[in-house]
Structure 1
Amino acid sequence: MEDARRHYLDQIRYDGVALSPALAAAFAAVPREVFVPDGFHRRDGRLVLPADPEFLPTVYSNDVLVTKMNGDVPISSSSQPSLMAVMIEALDVRPGHRVLEIGAGTGYNAALMATLGAEVTTVDVQEDVADRARAALARAGIDGVRVEHADGYTGGVDGRYDRIIVTVGVAGVSPHWLDRLEPGGLIVAPVEHAGTHPVLVVRPDPVTASVVCPAGFMTAAGPLASRHQHSHPPPAPALGGLAETAPARWGTALEAYAYRDLWYAAGAWHNRATHASIPGREQSFLALLDDSGAAGAVVLPDGAILASGGSAERYTAVATALVDRWWSLGRPPIRAWRVGLALDGPILAPRTWALTKLR
């Protein structure tokens, strides 16, 4: 076990994630394997059991552990540790803070925050998930966490909190969460944007947000997944019939984070931006879908554009204009965006986007 855990913090820090000494100590202290006692599914769908040789090395890797499936669809997991770290650091958890977590998952994230000295209430809409998280926290000897089977939209039992963290992809912020916040409080939540779930830090009065990082999450159910006037199209599972309509424009393809920067900008400027799969390729790509949702244009990391359908020429022109705009503004990073939210149906949804200069 010590061999498996020795390089855990190095893996979390690998992509430049900064860990405070307190959070590093929490990751080192909380035994992640206790929270997946029945095993987990890897990204490729393979089931890994505790008796398997790869169990502990995978548990102490920087990877998501899927713990519940609905057919082929993951519906509960232990998130990627580096993403947990970024979100907890953005939450600015202090000893004595009362924290509400929407989405208990395995309980591991709540355990980390409790180890930082927070009093955590974590809720999950799936009763079996809440039960397993409660049992795992008890096995790990973690105090200071209350697990509730409750609807994340309402936030569960009454109470007021200094911080709220959301660990499931949502379309917007529940007004109930804002009602629960103490003065000076904030919310960290992955809010849908162009088919992904970038993490936002949301502050009230007025309800505005800054973007922390790109991310992808399992999508919530119910009101938290409500469509609104600025909703982007659902991701396209596969776009066929694509042909190159604009050549590569960069000798070196954008690295992953820069490509996500372009992706976010495209979603801020155009409401048909989402992501799409291309047959024969593993990753998903930034896409602009036509009204059918089955055709449009795809922007590749090297700047080439592929398109299909009767509006291929028009969508190629739109995609080219979006890429040109991002490039002409100096390739603004995702963290440069500020988002205004407003009530739209049952949620406060993204309404406006503005670029700011980073310090």
Structure 2
Amino acid sequence: MEDARRHYLDQIRRDGVTLTPALAAAFAAVPREVFVPDGFHRGDGRRVLPADPEFLPTVYSNDVLVTKLNEGRPCSSSSQPSLMAIMLDALDVRPGARVLEIGAGTGYNAALLATLGATVTTVDVQADVADRARSALARAGIDGVRVSTADGYTTGSDDRYDRIIVTVGVAGVSPHWLDRLEPDGLIVAPVEHAGTHPVLAVRTGADGPAAAVVCPAGFMSAAGPLTARHRGSHPPPATLGDMTETAPARWDPALDALAYRDLWFAAGAWHRRVTHAAVPSRDQSYLALLDDSGSAGAAMLPDGSVLSSGPDAERYTAVAVALAGRWWSLGRPPMRAWRAVMTLDGDPAAPIWVPRAWHLTRRP
């Protein structure tokens, strides 16, 4: 087990994450296997049970562990540890901090927060998920965590917090979170942008909340007003039909995964038809611009080539090429260089704060 946990920390660091001593100690101390007592589903859909030889090696890998499916689709999980580490580092948790977590999941993230010295309230709208998290925390001997079944939009509590962390994809920030946040507090949340959920750090200010990008991410989406469509919404992800190459490759070698995400974010900041789409005969989704039908448009691959379809293929190809050229001419700005003001939008009966007017800063 000691070897497994040491290997675990190495895998988290291998993804480019710098673990602080406190974070490394927390990941080493909290037994992740206790939080998946009934096993989990791997990315390929296979179920792994505690008696299986691959159980512990997978638990102590840098993988998402899906713990609940709804009609075959994941609806609860233990997130990728390297992403958890980045978000916890951005949250800047200090001993004694009061933390609200939206999305209890397995309870593992709350256990890490408690091990860092926080007093944690974690909420989940799914009663069975909250019950299992509560039981796992008890089995692990973790104190200082309260688990509640509540709607994430309202939080079900009037308590105040120094930090709020959201572990489910949302379209914006609930006003109820800001109402419960101390004046110098911080929210770390994955907020929808161009079909993905980059993690944002949100702080209040004189002109309202403002957001800065922490890292790229993809999360399961929340339900209800937290995922309401708004005036700045991008199209939902799509599957495109037969496509033709309409612009040649422009980068050799192709962009690596992080640079491609940087381009993707910039394209989404500049154009509201950007999302991601599955492309025929390709095994992953790509940055795409969809036409008004939502079933055609253009997709840009990491080498800069463009595939397109539909009656406006030529126009969307030109837009994709122009967006890539703009990003390149600005020096390939990283995702973390973007900032945004936020405005109230979404469902008028249950509004959310959403990013508006993304702008680049000089800060990397």
The root-mean-square deviation of aligned C-alpha atoms, in Å, is 0.8
Task: Measure, in 1, the Cα distance between the counterparts of 2:18 and 2:58.
Answer: 22
Q: Which residue of 1 aligns with 2:214?
A: 212
What is the one-letter code of the residue matched to 2:332?
Answer: R
What is the one-letter code of the residue matched to 1:289?
Answer: L
1:41 equivalenced with 2:41 (yes/no)? yes
Note the alpha carbon deviations across 1:147-189, whole angstroms, 9 max, x for none: 0000000012220000000000000000000000012001000
What is the one-letter code of the residue matched to 1:264?
Answer: F
Q: Which residue of 2 aligns with 1:102?
A: 102
1:67 equivalenced with 2:67 (yes/no)? yes
Which is further off, 8-17 or 130-139? Answer: 8-17
Task: Measure, in 1, the Cα distance between the counterparts of 2:221 and 2:283.
Answer: 21
The aligned runs of 1:14-25 (5 Å cut-off) are 14-25=14-25
Of 210, 222, 232, the residue aligned with 1:230 is: 232
Q: Which residue of 2 aligns with 1:327?
A: 328
Task: Measure, in 2, the Cα distance between the counterparts of 1:323 and 1:245.
Answer: 14
SS of 1:176's equivalent in the other structure is helix
What is the one-letter code of the residue matched to 2:299?
Answer: V
What is the one-letter code of the residue matched to 1:243?
Answer: T
* Cα shift at 1:282: 1.9
Contact 2:242/2:280, CA 8 A, preserved across alignment: no
Task: Measure, in 2, the Cα distance between the counterparts of 1:95 and 1:279.
Answer: 50
Of 339, 355, 358, the residue aligned with 2:360 is: 355
* Cα shift at 1:67: 0.3
* Cα shift at 1:251: 1.5
**Unaligned residue ranges in structure 2 (runs of 5+):** none
What is the one-letter code of the residue matched to 2:270?
Answer: W
Task: Measure, in 1, the Cα distance between the counterparts of 2:260 and 2:356.
Answer: 23
Note the alpha carbon deviations across 1:231-274, whole angstroms, 9 max, x for none: 000001x2121100000011110000000000000000000000
What is the one-letter code of the residue matched to 2:41?
Answer: H
SS of 2:356's equivalent in the other structure is strand
* Cα shift at 1:3: 3.3
SS of 1:252's equivalent in the other structure is coil
Task: Measure, in 2, the Cα distance between the counterparts of 1:251 and 1:211.
Answer: 28
SS of 1:7's equivalent in the other structure is helix
* Cα shift at 1:279: 2.4
Which is further off, 226-235 or 337-346? Answer: 337-346
Q: Which residue of 1 aligns with 2:127?
A: 127
What is the one-letter code of the residue matched to 1:53?
Answer: P
The aligned runs of 1:220-299 (5 Å cut-off) are 220-236=222-238, 238-299=239-300
Task: Measure, in 1, the Cα distance between the counterparts of 2:246 and 2:120.
Answer: 52
Paired-residue identity, %: 79
Task: Measure, in 1, the Cα distance between the counterparts of 2:78 and 2:156.
Answer: 21
Task: Measure, in 2, the Cα distance between the counterparts of 1:180 and 1:158.
Answer: 7
Task: Detail structure 1 runs of 4+ shifted over 4 Å in the superposition.
Answer: none
Q: Which residue of 1 aligns with 2:306?
A: 305
Task: Give the structure-1-normalised TM-score.
Answer: 0.99
Task: Measure, in 1, the Cα distance between the counterparts of 2:5 and 2:189.
Answer: 28
SS of 1:315's equivalent in the other structure is helix
Task: Measure, in 2, the Cα distance between the counterparts of 1:9 and 1:161.
Answer: 29
* Cα shift at 1:72: 1.8
Task: Measure, in 1, the Cα distance between the counterparts of 2:231 and 2:222.
Answer: 18
Task: Measure, in 2, the Cα distance between the counterparts of 1:58 and 1:263.
Answer: 30
What is the one-letter code of the residue matched to 1:197?
Answer: H
What is the one-letter code of the residue matched to 2:227?
Answer: A
Contact 2:124/2:130, CA 8 A, preserved across alignment: yes
Task: Measure, in 2, the Cα distance between the counterparts of 1:44 and 1:279.
Answer: 19
SS of 1:286's equivalent in the other structure is strand
Q: Which residue of 2 aligns with 1:29?
A: 29
What is the one-letter code of the residue matched to 1:320?
Answer: V
SS of 2:3's equivalent in the other structure is helix
The aligned runs of 1:183-198 (5 Å cut-off) are 183-198=183-198
* Cα shift at 1:6: 2.5
Note the alpha carbon deviations across 1:281-330, whole angstroms, 9 max, x for none: 22210000000000000000000000000010000010011001000000
Task: Measure, in 2, the Cα distance between the counterparts of 1:90 and 1:5.
Answer: 23
Which is further off, 14-23 or 167-176? Answer: 14-23
What is the one-letter code of the residue matched to 2:320?
Answer: A
**Unaligned residue ranges in structure 1 (runs of 5+):** none
Task: Measure, in 1, the Cα distance between the counterparts of 2:3 and 2:243.
Answer: 47
Count of paired positions: 358
